[in-house]
Amino acid sequence: MKVVTFGEVLLRLTAPENLRFSQAKDFIVTYGGSEANVAVSLANYGVHTKFVTRLPENEIARACVMTLRSHHLSTEGIVYGGNRLGIYFLENGAVARSSSVVYDRADSSFSTLRPGMIDWKSLFADASWFHWSGIAASLTQGAADACREAIEVANEMGLTISCDLNYRRNLWKYGKSANEVMPELVKYSDVLFGSEGEYMNVLGINPVGFKALDTSYPIDIKGFERVGDEVQAMVPRCKKVFIELRNSMNANHDLLGGILYSDGAVKQSCIYDVTHVVDKVGTGDAFVGGMIYGLIAYPQDDQRALDFALAASCLKTTIYGDFNLVTVEEVENLMKGDGSGRVSR
């Protein structure tokens, strides 16, 4: 199985040691972005993965590509042009103070992407799965049109298509809203991912609510059956609907769960109580990467695939940066209940 993911990779500049932006004299340099994060997860799990984006021709872009290759990603699908790499600044929160993100991605190489710039037929020739997200469609009309082009070619060539709704309110600024653009693109999806809020903002589906205070919280299965029914009515092609559940107690304490709706039935994960979050960024992408891997590795066992995705997401909260740098063995050990954190000798 070969997977292609498509989206913008960004330079991430993080204020160190929980400093406010106003206090920071230096920033920590890493790279990330939703679809790149998913690709790195899959590559770590041994899945042959191509990451497709558009980058400028300069030394910062080359450093970014070197980072992607160091995680065993195939980068021959990257096209070059445009003026700059997109940037985001991150201020990590602590306890009652939330984290904060400032985007600097206007006129980036990816945001000026247009249909016809990428040879999708060649890229998909040896692929079985195509993954994209709502972030790629949120930046400009041209980027949204490029998403449509990729989706239509993937559909013609018979690939499995997955979409992470990935609603970012601060990115939809080119005169169209997510619920105007996304439904026409999402209709091609075989697999959908998103939080309850994203299903509401993109598809208009009212949330059930996840207010877990501990791991014994009773998940409303009937409520999520209703959500799944509504999604499938809107996207009849969709075979599997995943809902990421998170209740943030504070900036460093999350309770995580997951739902899978398929064939009219709901499967639920356990709930993880993560009391010392290291980095929240990329947690949802780790869930998506874990879920795609789970569906590939355990095609007859949706429950195991869901459990793998949630365990992968839980482990990501312990890792600094966008990328989920864990192995299949580490995720499966957590699935078996080994969350002790003991030194492995």
Average pLDDT, the chain: 96
Among 250, 249, 321, which Cα is nearest to 283's?
321
- Look up residue 12 and give its amino acid: R
Closest to 251 (Cα-Cα) out of 16, 18, 11, 13: 18
Q: What are 168-192's pLDDT values in tens digits?
A: 999 999 999 999 999 999 999 999 9
Mean pLDDT value of segment 20-45:
98
**Which percentage of the chain shows pLDDT scores above 90?**
97
* Cα gap 161→238, rounded to integer Å: 9
Q: Quick one: pLDDT at residue 345?
A: 43
pLDDT tens profile 272-291:
999 999 999 999 999 999 99
Report residue 66 CA to chain centroid gap.
Answer: 21
pLDDT at 329: 97
Residue 343 pLDDT class (50, 70, 90 cuts): very low
Helix (H) or strand (E) holding 161: strand 160-164
pLDDT in tens, 292-306: 999 999 999 999 999
pLDDT at 338 over 90: no
pTM of the model: 0.96
Spatial separation of the C-alpha atoms in residues 7 and 10, rounded to whole Å: 10
pLDDT digits (tens, 9 = 90+) for 224-262: 999 999 999 999 999 999 999 999 999 999 999 999 999
Kindly report, residue by residue over 42-62, the tens digit of the pLDDT: 999 999 999 999 999 999 999
Q: What is the mean pLDDT of residues 298-320?
A: 97
298: CB partners within 8 A, 6+ apart? 304, 305, 308
Check whether 35 has a pLDDT greater than 50. Answer: yes
Task: Please write the tens of the pLDDT for every residue from 99-112.
Answer: 999 999 999 999 99
Angle at Cα 279 formed by Cα 268 and Cα 25, nearest 5°?
165
The β-bridge relationship of strands 160-164 and 191-195 is parallel
User: How would residue 340 be classed by pLDDT, with cut points 50, 70 and 90?
Assistant: low
Q: Per-residue pLDDT tens for 127-163?
A: 999 999 999 999 999 999 999 999 999 999 999 999 9
pLDDT in tens, 114-132: 999 999 999 999 999 999 9
Residue 52, CB-side half-sphere exposure with 13 Å CA sphere: 24
Q: How far is CA 291 from CA 146, 303, 314, in A?
A: 25, 10, 13
344: confidence class by pLDDT, cuts 50, 70, 90: very low
Output the pLDDT for position 337. 85
